């Protein structure tokens, strides 16, 4: 009985022990590897931020520093602009484009890195000579090649351009270019004529190569002495004082546009003109008046005073709208262009023209006797012309006395002294932007 009870109890006990051991065997493999992945994850996480820290900041500042240090291009100072330069001569004429407008355009383009362009508008395509002052002021063109002497009511000081004084040419011999330099000094030094132009919407930028053009009396018949000129009709273009000179020589002034000169000679309206023989020859205008009158010892009769009052002018509103950098560039270019015109006009126009005419038997050069020239310049009509001109300009609110006195002072200086004054004048203009 006791044996029967004990046996099932032993079997049950053995079963429990077996189950406990089996349970321990199952839980032991699961618990042991559990911490291993935790250690592995921690080890992998450590190097991750290192490359991020090293790569991100290192290259970033380098390009920024390089760009900031680079100098800005020159064109950054200048807006893109296209300006138009009007004149009434044939395209490429040295007097109206190749000797002034073209070097102005080229130098301005160089100084502005190509930002500013000047385009030639020749042959009165935009404006004729008589329309030039008003047309440029109204903005039809930005620049114009203008004879201010054609508008004495607007530019009273420009009347000086109509004076021709052959005795001064003989008394104060200058290299042709320096007649231009002294004219520029007399006109622009101390802004002498600038107010007159500004009042009419214009800026006188520079004088033209015509300032050094050699003038001759060109006629359809030979003149050997003063008496041969009595009653002769000469083209009048320079105003009152040219007319007075003609009358002192016994001739009569007849107003005729340059473009109508050849026809006027052929029809007998005029028989000649006092004007620039070099450019007349290149334009085939001398063919109808092949007799050239000179002063003794020279190939020419006179030099235009103050460049004949021919200027390259600029629309004042365009000028006032420029930045200081742009104004400085325009003035620097104008200085280069003005000097180029003065220094090269004779080489480009007068020297080859006179050489060709002297080699052609059709042309005849005759020197008017000095006694006849002195007789002309002592005539009451012209003997006091400088003083009369100064008074006339003063009464018209111009700079007559100052302008005439300074012009006659500069005549007496050497070529080197004249050039020095010109450099000083342009230095002030560029520094003060006027």
Phi and psi dihedrals of 273, rounded to 5? -165, 150
Tell me how long the chain is: 434
pLDDT at 164: 85
Helices (H), 209-289: 240-248, 261-266, 277-282
| Average pLDDT value for residue range 229-256 | 92
Q: Is residue 355 a part of any domain in this protein?
A: no
Most distant CA atoms of the chain, gap in Å: 186
**Distance (Å, whole) CA 414 – CA 126:** 41
Which band of pLDDT confidence, cut at 50, 70 and 90, is reported for residue 30? Answer: very low
How large is the average pLDDT for residues 225-246? 91
- pLDDT digits over 330-352, tens only? 999 999 999 999 999 999 989 99
> Would residue 282 count as lying in a domain?
no
Q: What is the pLDDT of residue 23?
A: 42
Indicate whether 339 belongs to any domain: yes
pLDDT value of position 429: 98
pLDDT > 70? residue 363? yes
In a domain, 47, yes or no: no
Query: How does residue 75 score in pLDDT terms, banded at 50, 70 and 90?
Result: low
Three-point CA angle 72, 331, 393, nearest 5°: 160
In a domain, 145, yes or no: yes
Count CB-CB contacts under 10 A for residue 31: 8
Least confident of 17-31, 90-104, 153-167, 300-314: 17-31
For the chain, the average pLDDT equals 84
Judge whether 420 lies within some domain.
yes
The continuous run of DSSP H or E covering 66 comes out as helix 61-69
Q: Which of 70-74, 100-104, 155-159, 275-279 has the lowest mean pLDDT?
A: 70-74
> 168-217 pLDDT, tens per residue?
887 787 888 998 999 999 989 989 899 999 999 999 999 998 788 889 99
Minimum mean pLDDT range among 82-86, 297-301, 304-308, 360-364: 304-308
Edge-to-edge strand order for the sheet containing 143-147? 116-121, 81-86, 143-147, 310-315, 202-207
369-390 pLDDT tens trace: 999 999 999 999 999 999 999 9
Gap between the Cα atoms of 149 and 144, Å rounded? 14
Residue 41 lies in a domain: no
pLDDT, tens digit, 9 for 90 and up, residues 79-106: 999 999 999 999 999 989 999 999 999 9
**Residue 316 and residue 199 in contact, taking contact as beta carbons nearer than 8 Å:** no
Could you list the residue range(s) of the whole structural domain that residue 88 is in? 77-159+175-210+308-348+398-432
Cβ neighbours, 10 Å, residue 270? 24
- The per-residue pLDDT for 152 is 87
Instruction: Provide the token pair at 10.
Output: 């032993």
Give the pair of three-digit tokens for residue 205: 């930028």
Cα 280 versus chain centre, distance: 25
Q: Are 127 and 136 in contact (CB under 8 A)?
A: yes
pLDDT on residue 63: 39
- What CATH number is given to the structural domain containing 331? 3.40.190.170
> Which pLDDT does position 207 carry in this prediction?
95
Q: pTM for the whole thing?
A: 0.75
Residue 61 pLDDT exceeds 50: no
Radius of gyration of the chain (CA): 44
The lowest-confidence range among 150-159, 162-171, 398-407 is 162-171
- Is 44 a residue whose pLDDT tops 60? no
Overall average pLDDT of the 118-135 stretch:
97
- Whether residue 167 is predicted with pLDDT greater than 60 in this model: the reply is yes
Return all residues near 354 (Cβ < 8 A) that are at least 6 apart.
214, 277, 278, 299
Question: Is residue 138's pLDDT more than 70?
Answer: yes
Average pLDDT over every residue of 5-16: 40
Question: What's the pLDDT score for residue 173?
Answer: 76
Residue of higher predicted confidence among 186 and 54: 186
Domain assignment present for residue 192? The answer is: yes
- Total of domains in the chain: 1
């Amino acid at each position: 009985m006791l044996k029967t009870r004990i046996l099932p109890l032993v079997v049950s006990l053995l079963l429990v022990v077996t189950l406990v051991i089996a349970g321990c065997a199952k839980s032991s493999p699961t618990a042991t590897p559990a911490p291993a992945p935790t250690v592995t994850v921690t080890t992998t996480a450590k190097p991750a931020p290192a490359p991020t820290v090293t790569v991100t900041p290192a290259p970033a500042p380098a390009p920024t520093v390089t760009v900031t240090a680079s100098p800005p291009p020159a064109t950054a100072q200048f807006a893109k602009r296209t300006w138009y330069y009007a004149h009434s001569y044939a395209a490429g004429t040295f007097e109206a484009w190749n000797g002034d407008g073209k070097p102005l355009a080229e130098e301005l383009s160089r100084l502005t890195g190509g930002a500013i362009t000047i385009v030639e508008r020749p042959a009165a395509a935009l404006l004729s000579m008589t329309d030039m002052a008003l047309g440029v002021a109204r903005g039809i063109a930005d620049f114009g090649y203008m004879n201010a002497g054609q508008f004495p009511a607007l530019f009273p000081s420009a009347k000086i351009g109509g004076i021709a004084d052959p005795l001064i040419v003989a008394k104060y011999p200058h290299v042709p270019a320096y007649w231009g330099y002294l004219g520029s000094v007399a006109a622009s030094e101390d802004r002498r004529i600038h107010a007159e132009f500004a009042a009419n919407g214009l800026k006188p930028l520079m004088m033209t190569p015509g300032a050094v053009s050699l003038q001759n009396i060109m006629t359809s018949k030979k003149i050997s002495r003063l008496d041969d000129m009595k009653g002769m009709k000469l083209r009048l273009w320079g105003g009152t004082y040219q007319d007075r000179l003609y009358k002192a020589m016994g001739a009569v002034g007849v107003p005729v546009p340059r473009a109508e000169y050849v026809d006027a000679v052929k029809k007998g309206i005029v028989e000649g003109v006092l004007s620039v023989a070099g450019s007349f020859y290149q334009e085939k205008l001398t063919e109808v008046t092949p007799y050239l009158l000179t002063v003794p010892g020279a190939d020419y009769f006179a030099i235009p005073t103050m460049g004949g009052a021919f200027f390259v002018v600029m629309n004042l509103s365009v000028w006032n709208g420029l930045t200081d950098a742009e104004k400085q560039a325009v003035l620097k270019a104008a200085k280069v262009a003005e000097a180029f015109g003065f220094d090269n006009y004779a080489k480009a126009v007068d020297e080859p023209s006179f050489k060709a005419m002297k080699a052609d038997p059709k042309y005849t050069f005759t020197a008017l006797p000095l006694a006849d020239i002195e007789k002309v310049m002592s005539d009451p009509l012209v003997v006091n012309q400088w003083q009369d001109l100064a008074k006339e300009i003063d009464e018209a609110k111009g700079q007559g006395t100052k302008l005439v006195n300074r012009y006659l002072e500069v005549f007496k200086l050497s070529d080197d002294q004249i050039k020095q004054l010109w450099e000083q004048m342009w230095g002030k203009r560029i520094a003060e932007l006027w």
